[in-house]
Amino acid sequence: MTSVRARDPFFVAVTATGFDRDHIAGLAAGRYAAVQVADFLPAQTCSELLAALRRVPFDAYDTRRVDPPVFRFGVGVSDHRVEGALDETYWKALDSSNAAWSELDLDHDPFELCRSGLGARWPGRVRVAHHDRRELGAGVAREPNQGFQVHFDDSIREFADGLVDDHLVAQFAFNLYLSVPERGGQTVVWRHRWAPGDEEFRLPASYGYQRDVVGDAESFVLQPRIGQALLFDPRNFHAVLPSHGDRRIALGFAVGLTDSGELLTWG
């Protein structure tokens, strides 16, 4: 008797010329798992932003929680999550982050450009999310040259007290690649979402999990390319493979779809 393992026809990554309404709605509904758009911003814009970022130092995420180290320019909410809530220390760090981005002296706001491109074909508003009526950070530049552990991202689970003021019905992750390595640096996404038993596989004091947490779940691999934008459902477990060669630098932020049809972003 021969057994055939069925594959989920909706667990797919699609390529497009832009983020259409169908792509975003499809991610929320589970018809797609990822959408890739080449040449999302003009090459000159990406080149100028990368040149500016190469001139400044990147800080590491909390190495007690993030190992191997991941570097970033800007501040994210994850380093200021304490017992399921956003700690007050976040706001001072955000002020410093905003000042550092301003000192890059760019001719444009790269996160505003990304939000504009993301929402060009979406009927609702696209704006930065608020927490207790205070605007969160717009995003970060990340450099995971040694990779990300297997993990998932879901603000509803991670922030029990709530992260954003609005009600979310779906969450996505956005990345715009500015620099990619000669080898490695791919994103692997598994058709596996968090379940209580997964905690047996969590690495000590870490955001990540052992590779065995996803078992033999279906997966796909995404190759980063300069100027490419990626939007995917980070509630599926995913990882980034180690890089070899040039730095792997990408702009990144979370995207939440609200029950009123708005898209909210935060770093």
Is 6 domain-assigned?
Answer: no
pTM above 0.85, yes or no: yes
Is 7 domain-assigned?
Answer: no
Is 5 domain-assigned?
Answer: no
246 has a pLDDT exceeding 60: yes
Residue 4 binned pLDDT confidence (cut-offs 50, 70, 90): low
User: Structure tokens of 79?
Assistant: 């380093």
Tokens 């689970």 locate to 157
Averaged pLDDT score across all residues of the chain: 96
Count of structural domains within the chain: 1
SS3 content of the chain, % helix, strand, coil (to 5): 25, 30, 45
**pLDDT tens-digit map of 202-221:** 999 999 999 999 999 999 99
46 has a pLDDT exceeding 80: yes
User: What CATH number is attached to the domain comprising 260?
Assistant: 2.60.120.620
**What number is the average pLDDT over the span 8-36?**
98
**What number is the average pLDDT over the span 75-92?**
95
124 has a pLDDT exceeding 70: yes
Q: How many angstroms separate the CA atoms of 166 and 141, rounded?
A: 25
Q: Which pLDDT score is estimated for 161?
A: 86
User: Structure tokens of 209?
Assistant: 């999990």
Contacts of 43 (CB under 8 A, 6+ apart): 227
Is 1 domain-assigned?
Answer: no
145 has a pLDDT exceeding 80: yes
Is 216 domain-assigned?
Answer: yes
Is 3 domain-assigned?
Answer: no
Domain hosting 69: range is: 13-266
C-beta of residue 163 within 8 angstroms of C-beta of residue 155: yes
User: Structure tokens of 47?
Assistant: 């080149």
Residue 141 binned pLDDT confidence (cut-offs 50, 70, 90): very high
Contacts of 41 (CB under 8 A, 6+ apart): 110, 113, 114, 117, 176, 227, 229
Q: How many angstroms separate the CA atoms of 23 and 15, rounded?
A: 10
Report the DSSP pairing between strands 126-128 and 263-266. Answer: parallel
DSSP 98-112: HHHHHTT--SS-HHH
Three-state secondary structure call for residue 55: coil
